[in-house]
Amino acid sequence: MTSNIDIDPRVTTSRVALVTGGSGGIGRAVVERLAKDGMAVGVHYSGNQARADETVAAVVAAGGRAFAVGGDVADEDAMSAAFDAVEAEFGGIDVVVNTAGIMILSPISTLNLDDLDRMHRTNIRGTFVVSQQGARRVRDGGAIINFSTSVTRTQFPGYGAYVASKAAVESITLILARELRGKNITVNAVAPGPTATALFLDGKDEATIANLAKAVPLERLGQPDDIAETVAFLAGPGRWVNGQTVFANGGLA
């Protein structure tokens, strides 16, 4: 992925973000977009530290502040330590963006239940653990942003288990927004449509990808930067958007 952060040296901020799954795909685009806005960013990774270090290096080379922090999002001790590390490095946390997730596609009738458990551990428990830490730690005026999927509306065959996990993410998100009444912290979910990432492209032939692109009124796949722009709005100026699932999908019905 080519970096194009272009941080304006005149932009300064004391705001700090932690981005889970921040080492590649949408997560990396989010890291770079928030860094462009002047935020210091904790770049979380689960298994690929080298890729996280590359993301950090790109931000730092552009004049931003970032460092890598590892851990399993579904492990409450690991995530508590990750939040501790970001707070120690940058003095606090204002924005939590939880892009970490896995997708395993299969008809419901043939899905391996071990895959179901693995996906739900990351997508549901992981979102819950990260949201719980965010609820305890995000500072006044901050934002928690989780990730769902537009397939909760499109109902594509083969996505049953994945969509079930993301529907849970939406419910966690919308309830947490109401539980944080009076804290001045917004909580929203972003639901991308078909986006050109390794997670989306893996296992799909060119015809399938072309058909999905054509299904969007804008007649193209989304790019990670498209999703990052939505996140940047919710993390920054979008203070009146709260307790919502924002469908960033180019108009996919």
Output DSSP code: residue 195: B
Which helix (H) or strand (E) is 215 found in, with range?
helix 206-215
Active-site residue, from 159, 162, 200, 247: 162
- Is position 45 annotated as part of the catalytic site? no
The answer to whether the CB of 42 falls within 8 A of the CB of 118 is no
Provide CB contacts within 8 A for 3, sequence distance 6+. Answer: 32, 58, 61, 62
Q: What phi and psi, each to the nearest 5 degrees, are found at residue 94?
A: -110, -30
Report the half-sphere exposure of 25 (CA within 13 A, side-chain side): 22
Distance, in Å, from the CA atom of 82 to the CA atom of 53, rounded to the nearest integer, reads 15
Q: Is 155 left (phi over 0), alpha (psi -120 to 50) or beta?
A: left
Give the catalytic positions in this structure.
162
